[in-house]
């Protein structure tokens, strides 16, 4: 009988593994369980469907269940939820929601890609129908249905992170009268330092979004969001408070979890249980600057981890060395990106650093369409090692973060970065790319601080 | 008496040095000689003035002579050409073209930034008035004047390199009836491999430009360009055959020159003569992949070298480790970029390599404005070290080359690159950035080749 690989979760972390395993082992029987209605989708695209840039949720699907069946010989079982993992018996209890039945399925290899769930704080009214999280396509479908049915005119987004702000902008695009973002922090985007987050808050306000900061949410009622300063009226509430790894199943089976209860994996994506692998938003990642595990839920990381797990499952050798904390988004008029450590993170990790901030332009200053870009850069004292960077700028700004992510991975110093042979032509950059200007200023700050220290 | 730094050449290689030296040494007397009419300008912007994107040549000036005088206390002497360097006497013979006089000027430190000159092959008719090179703003001014005076309707560009193609596009924008590019090579852009150059040739043709390849130019007459296949009518001819370092002055003084007669410099930009420095298009650069000196004439390199020379001149310590051969341009509908070694260069240097090519999109496939991008990547056999990359793609493609330039500088392998934490959001990239897709395919090719070699 063929060996069976059982995959729990039909999105990136699971299906990237399934397809890589298949490429290397034609003989394997592969069964994949997905509790929702979609496989391998871009949840990051949901705001663009809500905003109307993208026609429908179906466009976000990279590969359908049928494509996995036909192209990869994967037995994809939809609306099928793994209820329990029995490690000693090497089996999983499956709930088939479609046919209302439960059965057991054995496995030789198990791969867990159960993803993450939007954080729902235990506040009064959190269970009300107008309160929506945004993580799966099923979430997106519920939210869109709600928006259509109720003819929504007032939306409140709770939490000023990426997805929250993207949803806020989407509802403005959709023509909703009043869109408000409420956050307890002093600025939106707490993955940026407050001085950079302030640039984003301003861009959101300039776009007609009400941004209420330093305001804690106390609960919800049928008419909106309750805060210490009164009620914010809403006929739809979106939770943008981040996500938590969905690991109750793994924990119940005795599989080790770590940071934020994410599944502990080694560099080949092996869990603590022999023959059990995991990838994606349910897992830890190793942070290459912090040099410790973190939980970062991003599609690009899930895909990389899934691929590595699948290569190893298929008998190959691949490792996922880790992340540096890169993230990017486009919000209203500005592009926003970050990588490595913010000041808060660097301080918490015990680094001493120099932080510099420069303003430059996305193209040569004289070239049509040149827009502002602000880059903040952190370098370690004495060593001058790049620790992190954040940028906010106009069109063409964002992808510069990838140079910084690559430099972080290579453990470059800011002095080394001043000589990077970055591309220059007037439509793309000033003759000193803003990244180089920031590196120069950071290198000068490191040198000055060394001189001052004697 | 104050020590005197004499700078020959008022563009990037010279003036970046002058301003850095000033920042560190207020006491220095700094004199700068510029034979033309402009200082510190972006020659790369000339095509955009010709094409009308930028209003006039003056906009290309980063800092005027007066700004150097007022802001940096530099005695800038315009229309002043250095005719001879007398190293033993520590003096330079200066020809003042404005006042028609010649004088000698002593120096304690000398910095050479004489730049480069468009290559003018010794063909019959090359001296005719309709044949123009494009390197300095003075060249740009002559060309613009010619174009205005003669009401140009037929332009032939000789040579399909960056500047030639940019000028061809500019004349189309300007409304010239007939624009032809003629090149002896099989495709335009010989800094790319022919398969990638072909994508550029196609984009040029799609834009209404006649591209004649494999056609050697034999000479020029008053009516146009003479080739083996007949005359190409023109009332203006632009030479796009590259540039050669302008080093007759340095050579005559006995200063060592190397590749293509460019001035030999060490990593601090010191020439072979004590107290004599050089930077910019007149110098060699060290190529970090080839590990030997090359001549690369680019404003971004000139600025970096000039800055390093100036810091050292001012008593500081800075080095210019070298280049990886990065270049970028926008041509008609496509963005074109390259870094590291092409197949031809890799072969000539004795590398064995795997070359892969991938097609992907600049944004998530479902996102509005997603355009094609083709990336070619070369990795060394066995080691898997990245050797070079070329890309041609639609809006948003080009700046990805900077990730590859950074990875080259860090001597990354393509396997290491597969895990790079590059930014992802639907407006900027598919979930696997095209750079990562190329790295995956290259890593697979390296692994397959190792397996095949046993």
Q: Which residue of B has its CA nearest to A41?
A: B431
Give the model's pLDDT for residue B151. 83
Residues of A in contact with B435 (CB under 8 A): 402
Give the model's pLDDT for residue A98. 95
Longest dimension (CA), chain B: 75
Whether residues B53 and A327 touch (CB distance < 8 A) is answered with: no
CA distances A264 to A116, A285, A411, Å, are 15, 8, 25
The pTM score is: 0.97
Give the model's pLDDT for residue A191. 96
Which residue among A288, A421, A429 places its CB closest to the CB of B339? A421
Q: What is the mean pLDDT of residues A394-406?
A: 97
Residue-wise pLDDT for A163-211, tens only, equals 999 999 999 999 999 999 999 999 999 999 999 999 999 999 999 999 9
Judge whether residue A411 has pLDDT over 80: yes
Task: Using DSSP, state whether B202 is helix, strand or coil.
Answer: helix
Distance CA A200, CA A285 (A): 27
Neighbours of B69 (CB within 10 A): 13
Task: Using DSSP, state whether B401 is helix, strand or coil.
Answer: helix
Q: Is A398 on the interface with B (CB under 8 A)?
A: yes
Give the model's pLDDT for residue B154. 96
Residue-wise pLDDT for B10-69, tens only, equals 999 999 999 999 999 999 999 999 999 999 999 999 999 999 999 999 999 999 999 999
User: Measuring CA to CA, which residue among B192, B193, B132 is closest to residue B164?
Assistant: B132
Q: What is the mean pLDDT of residues A252-258?
A: 98
Distance CA B194, CA B207 (A): 20
Whole-number CA gyration radius for chain A: 23
Distance CA B360, CA B372 (A): 6
Residue bearing tokens 């409304």: B175
* Percent of chain A residues topping a pLDDT of 90: 95
Distance CA A340, CA A411 (A): 11
* Percent of chain A residues topping a pLDDT of 70: 100
Q: Is A426 on the interface with B (CB under 8 A)?
A: yes
3-state SS string for chain A:
CCCEEEEECCCHHHHHHHHHHHHHCCCCEEEEEECCCCCCECHHHHHHHHCCCCCCHHHHECCCHHHHHHHHCEEEEECEEEEEEECCCCEEEEEECCCCEEEEEECCEEEECCCEEECCCCCCCCCCCCEEECCCHHHHHHHHHHHHHHCCCEEEEECCCHHHHHHHHHHHHCCCCEEEEECCCCCCCCCCCHHHHHHHHHHHHHCCCEEECCCCEEEEECCEEEECCEEEECCEEEECCCEEECCHHHHHCCCCECHHHCECCCCCCECCCCCEEECCCCECEEECCCCEEECCCCHHHHHHHHHHHHHHHCCCCCCCCCECCCEEEEECCEEEEEEECCHHHHHHCCCCEEEEEEEEECCCCCCCCCCEEEEEEEEECCCCEEEEEEEEECCCCHHHHHHHHHHHHCCCEHHHHCCCCCCCCCCCCCCCCHHHHHHHHHHHHHHHHHHHHC
Residue-wise pLDDT for B289-305, tens only, equals 999 999 999 999 999 99
Give the model's pLDDT for residue B149. 82
Distance CA B63, CA B44 (A): 15
Q: How is residue B271 written in tokens?
A: 């020439």
User: Measuring CA to CA, which residue among A183, A244, A189, A241 is closest to residue A217?
Assistant: A183
Which residue among A323, A328, A421 places its CB closest to the CB of B428? A328
Task: Using DSSP, state whether B300 is helix, strand or coil.
Answer: helix
CA distance B68 to chain A (A): 18
Q: Is B45 on the interface with A (CB under 8 A)?
A: yes
Angle at A298 between CA A293 and CA A304, to 5 degrees: 80
CA distance B218 to chain A (A): 32
Residue A173, CA atoms < 13 Å, CB-side half-sphere:
17
Residues of A in contact with B410 (CB under 8 A): 406-407, 409-410, 412
Whether A44 sits among the annotated catalytic residues: the reply is yes
User: Measuring CA to CA, which residue among B57, B60, B64 is closest to residue B140?
Assistant: B57
CA distance A235 to chain B (A): 28
> How would you class B447 by CB atoms within 10 Å of its CB: exposed for 0-12, middle for 13-18, buried for 19 or more?
middle
Judge whether residue A438 has pLDDT over 80: yes
CA distance A18 to chain B (A): 17
Which residue among A304, A398, A402 places its CB closest to the CB of B403? A402
Contact B348, B414 (CB under 8 A): no
**Could you tell me the domains of chain A?**
4-117+243-313 (3.50.50.60), 120-239 (3.50.50.60), 333-453 (3.30.390.30)
Neighbours of B120 (CB within 10 A): 13
Spot the catalytic one: B44, B282, B283, B332. Answer: B44
Give the model's pLDDT for residue A304. 98
Give the model's pLDDT for residue A274. 98
Whether residues B323 and A431 touch (CB distance < 8 A) is answered with: no
Residues of B in contact with A337 (CB under 8 A): 423
Contact B90, B211 (CB under 8 A): no
Judge whether residue A426 has pLDDT over 90: yes
Give the model's pLDDT for residue B155. 97
* Buried b / exposed e along A336-363 (16+ C-beta atoms within 10 A): bbbbbbbbebbeeeebebbbbbbebbbb
Q: Number of Cβ pairs closer than 8 Å across A and B?
A: 208
Give the model's pLDDT for residue A454. 72
**Interface mutation target, options B425, B435, B443, chain A, most CBs of A under 10 Å:** B425
| Residues of chain B with confidence (pLDDT) below 70 | none
pLDDT band with cut points at 50, 70 and 90 for residue A67: very high
């Amino acid at each position: 009988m063929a060996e069976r690989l059982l995959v729990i979760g039909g999105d990136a972390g699971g299906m990237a593994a399934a397809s890589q395993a298949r490429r290397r082992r034609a003989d394997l029987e592969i069964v994949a369980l997905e509790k929702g209605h979609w496989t391998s989708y871009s949840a990051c695209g949901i705001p663009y469907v809500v905003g109307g840039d993208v026609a429908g949720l179906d466009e976000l699907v990279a590969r359908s269940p049928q494509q996995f069946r036909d192209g990869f010989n994967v037995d994809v079982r939809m609306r099928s939820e793994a209820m329990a993992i029995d490690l000693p018996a090497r089996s999983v209890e499956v709930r088939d929601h479609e046919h209302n039945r439960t059965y057991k399925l054995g496995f030789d290899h198990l791969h867990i890609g159960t993803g993450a769930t939007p954080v729902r704080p235990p506040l009064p009214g959190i269970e009300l129908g107008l309160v929506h999280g945004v993580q799966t396509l099923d979430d997106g479908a519920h939210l869109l249905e709600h928006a259509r049915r109720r003819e929504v005119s007032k939306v409140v987004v709770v939490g000023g992170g990426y997805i929250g702000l993207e949803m806020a902008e989407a509802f403005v695009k959709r023509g909703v009268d009043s869109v408000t973002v409420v956050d307890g922090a002093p600025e939106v985007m707490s993955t940026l330092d407050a001085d950079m987050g302030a640039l984003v808050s301003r861009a959101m306000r300039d776009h007609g979004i009400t941004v209420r900061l330093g305001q804690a949410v106390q609960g919800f009622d049928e008419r909106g969001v309750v805060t210490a300063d009164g009620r914010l009226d809403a006929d739809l509430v979106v939770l943008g408070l981040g996500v938590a790894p969905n690991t109750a199943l793994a924990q119940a089976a005795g599989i080790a979890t770590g940071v934020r209860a994410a599944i502990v994996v080694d560099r080949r994506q092996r869990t603590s249980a022999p023959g059990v692998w995991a990838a994606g938003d349910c897992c830890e990642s190793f942070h290459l600057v912090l040099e410790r595990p973190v939980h970062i839920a991003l599609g690009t990381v899930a895909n990389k981890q899934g691929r590595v797990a699948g290569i190893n499952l298929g008998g190959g050798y691949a490792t996922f060395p880790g992340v540096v904390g890169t993230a990017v988004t486009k919000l209203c008029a500005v592009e926003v990106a970050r990588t490595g450590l913010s000041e808060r993170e660097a301080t918490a990790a015990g680094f001493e650093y120099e932080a510099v901030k420069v303003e430059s332009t996305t193209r040569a200053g004289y070239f049509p369409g040149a827009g502002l870009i602000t880059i903040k850069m952190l370098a370690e004292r004495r060593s001058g090692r790049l620790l992190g960077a954040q940028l906010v700028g106009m069109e063409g700004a964002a992808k510069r973060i990838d140079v910084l992510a690559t430099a972080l991975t290579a453990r470059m110093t800011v002095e080394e970065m001043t000589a990077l042979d970055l591309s220059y032509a007037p439509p793309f950059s000033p003759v000193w790319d803003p990244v180089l200007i920031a590196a120069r200023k950071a290198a000068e700050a490191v040198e000055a601080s060394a001189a001052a220290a004697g």
